[in-house]
Structure 1
């Protein structure tokens, strides 16, 4: 086993006494078995020595909600687009317009993993559809990847009046679930110990309650997590009230699909949110009491003028909330910055949340959601998932509090090196195991193909569907 030693790191975020703390001028030694030493000069074997001067060494970030399938294709398309009849959300009308074939899915996955690595992510939960290279690309990337092949019984459809409706096909849902479970069986035999499965019924509103119950049974029989999108939009919540007379959290509580092994995607429109018809404010208490996890992805919803009320309130209520990127940009550091800003804006209180709490959410809380107490923190015995940040980068200087500089100003521009399980996977800002240049070459052609399909579906030019932000005079 090759031992890497980072010598005399200027700043280290280490785990001590149940919290992250700063250390100065420390050695960090690790191999593929984990962190061997974090302290004064390492006296043991050093196969590779890395200069830690002018570096911040921190644990890898844990992204508990992202989608690799089509999202990079949508860059620059729908940022100014929404459906007014559905509270301005673009999800139902526009997200399904851009699809990708197998080659494009591989390129999208490579680009997502490259961007995540560049922003310091070492673990991610990828909710996507299977394709021939899905598992292979993840293995080559060096990241820890939780595979969540989605399945559902219904698909969204908008009526002529722009109301949300559903096309149900229960038989197709059963088939899709079985196919997803077969993917998880393939993941289970991976020998790297970096790949894990997650059972992923896609959305609470596209699955019948009994289907969700059976999905959780499958997850628990395999000792896996379950993730499902829930309370993500008012359109979804309104539909659940129509069907069941209750919102998403009471419904999931009634059917028993809550708990420490359940991750709810987004969890925005709870009963305390000002847009909901409920005025009971009991959902946070239920989530905290059951230990259910929330994946918070503020950037994509902020684009539609929506947001969680507020992250600080969830944490004070005792709910475990991790951070995800969801869609583009796949940049965890920008997501963390937005989480802070949105929480303060939505609450109207600058003290609603602080930098340390959001860093904790993006590391330890995300690891808790995935059931991994060895991730998201640096201490002897923890996994060797390590990020090195360049403190000489212009966006980081002058350095007083390096995490604040990184989250509020530096972001991915200052991330230089990443190790996962002791393996060097980002070298001077470049992914080691991913063909990012090849994926970029493919993505332009794939986007052109996807736009042609969307134009045929809508019967008009794409600029009529999603006009560019500036006019192009003849």
Structure 2
């Protein structure tokens, strides 16, 4: 145990009110913590002090809990997938473009470092890392300083398109059991890792790439380990149509038929229910099925809004008691931006500014995510909780004029105002500077990986396009 760090006279603290069972805003009070956890929230700390932080111009917030993220790949897609979708595949980029533009083995660690850095810089303290296993993954997770749930993905089949309007699946001879066994070894390594900030999650990748047997076996393996299972489902119209074509059931119905739509399971995205405006599948009751199941949903608005897609609606899911959390499925790995997009998108599709309130979205990114992950010692600022928190500068120009600090942070300032991020009482970001990775060096490595991927793009594309033809650089003319 180290001597306490005290944030003295914090202008605002988003503290936990146990009596009200919710966050509350305190003003001009202290918060003390050390590596064992939070010692005091509110009032004046009168005990010993190892370090004192002037909180007079700071908002102190619980660390954000990110329940769905792909750090090993998504950071490299910046500038490539911003405006790409396949018109013949209902505007998804999953099938035609994403398999063609991935980091190589050399680039994957750089992508991970960049993503972990972006997460810390935007106030994230806990992240579910859904990645295909790679060498030194757990070492990078430990070095990040974050609380990382290791979720190695595997599947029975890979998807691809030869036409841009139809998707095919190539099934492994062993139904993916070999890669599943390797992934489970990684889960077990994470659970047994001496760094107590790492844990594991079972992650069959996508509902349409996994057989019924692989999904059932995955659920059994998660149950036997006492960990959660997460699977991408109801994430695209291609997938919705594929599952209804194979089984005559919606993705939600099929998971329910398999006996895995239950507490302990997280649905990655869960957008395309039968009552979504795009699906036109009236014979099911997906929303009620999901509502009564106990299964949770990971909502990642940014990646879908790029394709003109959104959930119907985040506010509706929350009001009906579906366990909800938020994730950064894509670049930038910026949770404050995801919270903002969740709010705006929910209001657009509902045509109602009251459909989702700021506090509800923030709850989903803190206590909601913690509850989904089964972690009862994160997501809130109260004595005895983990010392996972971030500070934002309320004097930042983007925060002013300052009337409502949380609203200013989410709707305007975002990560620009974040100055410090702590996990287990240790600083990952201090005065706006990362203490974990050299972000510039990681970006150099990622840019080199992106250049290699761009060079290889044409050799992989069924249309034989260059990457510049597939995703033209804005305003760059051929004779430039």
Q: TM-score range by the shorter chain?
A: over 0.9
Paired residues of 1:141 and 1:431 also in contact (CA < 8 A) = no
1:70 and 2:99 matched: no
Show the counterpart of 2:473: 468
Paired residues of 2:250 and 2:284 also in contact (CA < 8 A) = no
Report how far residue 280 of structure 1 moved. 5.1
Report how far residue 439 of structure 1 moved. 0.7
Equivalent positions of 1:264-275 (< 5 A) are: 264-275=267-278
Rounded Cα–Cα distance in structure 2 between residues aligned with 1:412 and 1:161: 37
Rounded Cα–Cα distance in structure 2 between residues aligned with 1:440 and 1:198: 28
Rounded Cα–Cα distance in structure 2 between residues aligned with 1:161 and 1:304: 16
Aligned with 1:392 (options 384, 392, 395): 395
Aligned with 1:263 (options 266, 276, 280): 266
1:450 and 2:453 matched: yes
TM-score by length of 2: 0.97
Aligned with 2:25 (options 18, 22, 25): 22
Aligned with 1:351 (options 321, 344, 354): 354
Rounded Cα–Cα distance in structure 1 between residues aligned with 2:65 and 2:189: 23
Rounded Cα–Cα distance in structure 1 between residues aligned with 2:16 and 2:28: 16
Aligned with 1:368 (options 368, 371, 382): 371
1:122 and 2:125 matched: yes
Paired residues of 2:117 and 2:434 also in contact (CA < 8 A) = yes
Matched position secondary structure for 2:291: helix
TM-score by length of 1: 0.98
- 1:182–1:394 Cα change, 3 Å: same
Report how far residue 195 of structure 1 moved. 0.3
Q: Which moved more, 1:276-285 or 1:302-311?
A: 276-285
Cα RMSD after superposing both structures: 1.2
Paired residues of 1:384 and 1:421 also in contact (CA < 8 A) = yes
Aligned with 1:217 (options 216, 220, 241): 220
Report how far residue 170 of structure 1 moved. 4.1
Rounded Cα–Cα distance in structure 1 between residues aligned with 2:306 and 2:142: 32
Matched position secondary structure for 1:417: strand
Superposed CA deviations along residues 347-400 of structure 1, whole A, max 9, x for unmatched, are: 111110110000001111111110012111111111110111101110001111
- 1:278–1:142 Cα change, 3 Å: same
Rounded Cα–Cα distance in structure 2 between residues aligned with 1:322 and 1:337: 14
Paired residues of 2:147 and 2:198 also in contact (CA < 8 A) = yes
Show the counterpart of 1:403: 406
Report how far residue 82 of structure 1 moved. 1.1
Rounded Cα–Cα distance in structure 1 between residues aligned with 2:67 and 2:94: 20
Q: Which moved more, 1:447-456 or 1:229-238?
A: 447-456
Report how far residue 133 of structure 1 moved. 2.1
Report how far residue 466 of structure 1 moved. 1.6
- Count the aligned residue pairs: 474
Paired residues of 1:26 and 1:39 also in contact (CA < 8 A) = yes
Aligned with 1:287 (options 287, 290, 301): 290
Paired residues of 2:175 and 2:214 also in contact (CA < 8 A) = no
Rounded Cα–Cα distance in structure 2 between residues aligned with 1:172 and 1:269: 26
1:438 and 2:441 matched: yes
Report how far residue 433 of structure 1 moved. 1.3
